[in-house]
Amino acid sequence: MNLGFIGTGTITSAVVEGIAGDGHRITVSERSRARSADLADRFGVAVADNQGVIDASDVVFLGLLPEQAAQVLPGLAFRPGQQVISFMAGVTLDGLGPLVAPAEPLAVMLPFPGIAKGGSPIIAMGKTGLIEDIFTPANSVYAVANEAELSAYLCAQAVLSPAVKLVADAAAWLAPQVSDTRQGEDFLRVLVGSNLMANDLGPLLEALSTPSGYNARLRDHMDAAGTPDALRAGLARLAGQG
């Protein structure tokens, strides 16, 4: 499949890395030059200007910032039959349509950095079949019904950063007390990741609620310190609800 990427930032680079070995003909835009050159060097992808990307591609992925779309896209010539997948959460499919006509704005796709190695979730809205064809089974596609759901998922996914920070802080607390600090961090990452992947949240929480157990005591301490309330308030603020 001929795939093109306009805008070569961190997420686009991760997406390209994740599918570079799947047999696609990939063309990336010169922005940014350092990242596009790195992808060309490591994976043999082609590099072109924005119009060159469009000319070489049947499916075009837009990795621009939302405020760049109205400036960059109207100057480009898309063609009938092309399909466009946007990484831009701030641009609706209806709003994208006139910017990429006569190509079809197929879907919004929100990937995460983990897509570079596989096993990552992808939030998708619109006609998601092509996204599933390209990115599964190496990754998991979570389709949403409309813009409101997309916005809610986008807010909820922000739990990733505080969750990572929580594990990083625990690793930093552990480090001076153990002989192998790297092993300590690895232990915590595997502990959290494997248990989340292997269990639904309700049963996992129940299993970790042994009275007077370490997990229950720390969770009770954090609950009393207001962590759940702070999380809910933060999510509400992201959603414009508070």
Residue 39 has pLDDT above 70, yes or no: yes
* Percent of the chain surpassing pLDDT 70: 100
Q: Residue 219 burial (CB < 10 Å; 0-12/13-18/19+)?
A: middle
Report the CATH number that the domain containing residue 42 is assigned in CATH: 3.40.50.720
**Cα distance between residue 159 and residue 50, in whole Å:** 34
Predicted pLDDT of residue 242: 66
- Domain check: are 231 and 179 in the same one? yes
Average pLDDT over residues 233-238: 96
Residue 57 and residue 130 share a domain: yes
Is 117 a residue whose pLDDT tops 90? yes
163, 232: one domain: yes
- Number of domains observed in the structure of the chain: 2
Instruction: Determine the Cα–Cα distance for residues 56 and 183; give it in Å rounded to an integer.
Output: 46
- Averaged pLDDT score across all residues of the chain: 95
Residues making up the chain, counted from first to last: 242
Q: What is the pLDDT of residues 40-80, one digit of tens each?
A: 999 999 999 999 999 999 999 999 998 899 899 999 999 99
Is 172 inside a domain boundary?
A: yes
| pLDDT at position 217 over 70 | yes
3-state secondary structure (DSSP) of residue 105: strand
Query: What is the predicted pLDDT for the residue at 33?
Result: 84
Domain boundary among 122, 144, 166: 144
- pLDDT at 194 > cutoff 70: yes
* pTM recorded for the entire structure: 0.88
Would 87 be classed as within a structural domain?
A: yes
Q: Pick from 121, 144, 167: which residue ends a domain? A: 144
Task: Say yes or no: 138 and 163 in one domain.
Answer: no
Q: Tell me the pLDDT tens digit for each residue of 195-215.
A: 999 999 999 999 999 999 999
Range of the domain at 40: 2-144
| pLDDT value of residue 32 | 75
- Do 31 and 82 lie in one domain? The reply is yes
* Percent of the chain at pLDDT exceeding 90: 93
Q: Is 101 exposed, middle or buried (0-12, 13-18, 19+ CB in 10 A)?
A: middle
